[in-house]
Amino acid sequence: MMQRLYRALTVLATPLIAVYLGRRRRAGKEDPERFPERLGVAGAARPDGMLVWVHGASVGEALAALPLIERILESRDALHVLVTTGTVTSARLMAERLPPRAQHQYAPIDRPDAVRGFLDHWRPDLALWNESEFWPNLLTEIQALGIPMILVNGRMSDRSYRRWKLMRGVIRPLLDGFALCLAQSEQDAKRLRDLGAGAVHAIGNLKSAASPLPVDQAALDDLRDAVASRPLWLAASTHPGEETIAAASHCALAADHPGLLTIIAPRHPERGPTIAAGLRETGLTVALRSAGEPIDRSVDVYIADTLGELGLFYRLAPVAFVGGSLVAHGGQNLLEPARLGCAVIHGPHMANFAAFTAAFAAAQGAIEVADGAGLTAALGELLGDPDQRRRRGAAARAVAEAEAGVLDRIEAALAPYLDGGAR
């Protein structure tokens, strides 16, 4: 009943959906050249043979799936992979990083005609759903076609769990359509079972299997020459409000650390010019990477507002604050700086990575701070104590490497479906 009501509402809301999508296009949040893909019109031909469809909402989910995609393609020569996401940034990254026999398309909006157009063209043999983006029309149509679905890296945050408990009539039949649910943790598994999922196994977080972020070695050498021996730190994947906090920490520490350079890499690079303008109004000297502005000795803050270069800056900076954690966002991925030996700092809002955060705390692999004052204090400690930086960095790297076997476990669980033995 609830699904039929949702389906009817998405049809009736077609004019409103068109207005919403138009606003997104004008804001640069939709790809104008590939926009028909969002309406279910394919932008490429379907490859011959078995096609595995991997869906992730955005950048984090798509990047987490890359090791799994590479693994299943390496071991199965006839297999092809279709990756869908919903954001422009994720599409650009996938264009750069997907291996041969894998291609990207934008996910169709959850309207019946768009969903049918997508599925009629691509006819996937298996659907791997990454994390917890459950679209009722899309999942219902997949079930109706008899396409096996597996939830990979399943996660159910506190907020999502509370919301779905109020809509059990919607979520229960959707979860019931998954042949297998591979959850990140026991807590996620318990919540999925409570909401109606059947075969659920806590198998670990796929993000543990990712390789270190890539780097352009020539660009890294150039930056190391530019910063020379200056003390520096990185505020990575920041969200609105955190750049101001980072700038305040810079000002508080600059006198004790002559030549201090603060690097800010915003989660959404398109915010770079706005961030730079705001910090310049406070009197700081700011250079913008997207504009090609150099780092000379006068620069206080360097805005790293480019796509796909976070690995460059994690290698450059010995200390990294991971954003989305001093504001109520839920945190970003601690494993990325940890794999590269950074001393890691994060705020209290880490619900998106709760299990990892606990592991880092137990190993003293990260410092949790409550606010801007705490960030300043932690930075002061680490910038002034090279031995502590090295200890923290080594502990962080050990935590990141501890779950390396998760990819083997996930591939083993998927093997019956990938090899045609399960349906």
CATH number of the domain encompassing residue 47: 3.40.50.11720
Q: Is residue 5 in a domain?
A: no
Q: Is residue 125 in a domain?
A: yes
Residues 241 and 122 in one domain: no
Structure tokens belonging to residue 141: 């149509």
Counting every residue, how long is the chain? 423
Give me the pLDDT at residue 211, please: 84
Q: Is residue 109 in a domain?
A: yes
Q: Is residue 136 in a domain?
A: yes
What type of residue is 106?
Y
Residues 299 and 196 in one domain: no
H or E element at residue 50: none
Q: Cα–Cα distance between 325 and 238 in angstroms, integer?
A: 9
Phi, psi of 130 (to 5 degrees): -95, 120
Residues 412 and 379 in one domain: no
Residues 397 and 409 in one domain: no
Q: Is residue 9 in a domain?
A: no
Give me the pLDDT at residue 2, please: 65
Give me the pLDDT at residue 19, please: 81
Residues 176 and 306 in one domain: no
How far is C-alpha 66 from the chain's CA centre? 12
Residues 173 and 193 in one domain: yes
Residues 349 and 297 in one domain: yes
Structure tokens belonging to residue 60: 């984090």
Q: Cα–Cα distance between 86 and 88 in angstroms, integer?
A: 7
DSSP H helices in 331-405: 335-339, 354-362, 372-384, 386-402
Residues 261 and 119 in one domain: no
Q: Cα–Cα distance between 293 and 314 in angstroms, integer?
A: 20
How far is C-alpha 267 from the chain's CA centre? 10
DSSP conformation class of 46: P
Q: Is residue 90 in a domain?
A: yes
DSSP bridge partners of 81: 52, 102
Q: Cα–Cα distance between 298 and 275 in angstroms, integer?
A: 18
Q: Is residue 12 in a domain?
A: no
Q: Cα–Cα distance between 176 and 191 in angstroms, integer?
A: 14
Q: Are 397 and 122 in contact (CB under 8 A)?
A: no
Number of domains in the chain: 2
Q: Mean pLDDT of residues grouped by 10 in the chain (423 residues)?
A: 71 78 86 94 95 90 90 94 93 92 96 95 96 88 95 90 90 93 93 93 88 94 95 98 98 97 96 97 97 96 95 98 96 95 97 89 96 98 97 94 85 92 51
3-state secondary structure of 266: strand
DSSP H helices in 53-111: 59-74, 88-97
Rg of the chain over Cα atoms, rounded to whole angstroms, equals 22
Residues 197 and 256 in one domain: no
Q: Is residue 21 in a domain?
A: no
Residues 410 and 352 in one domain: no
Q: What secondary structure does DSSP assign to 109-153, as a single string?
A: PSSHHHHHHHHHHH--SEEEEESS---HHHHHHHHHTT--EEEEE
Give me the pLDDT at residue 421, please: 52
Give me the pLDDT at residue 114, please: 95
In this prediction the pTM is 0.78
Q: What is the CATH number of the domain that holds 239?
A: 3.40.50.2000
| 200-202 and 126-130 strand pairing | unpaired
Residues 199 and 326 in one domain: no
Give all strands (DSSP E) within 191-290, no chain letters: 200-202, 232-238, 261-266, 286-288
Residues 274 and 321 in one domain: yes
Question: Which residues constitute the domain of residue 233?
Answer: 217-402
Torsional sign, CA 304, 310, 316, 321:
positive
Enzyme catalytic residues: 61
Q: At what angle do helices 2-12 and 136-144 cross, to 10 degrees?
A: 120
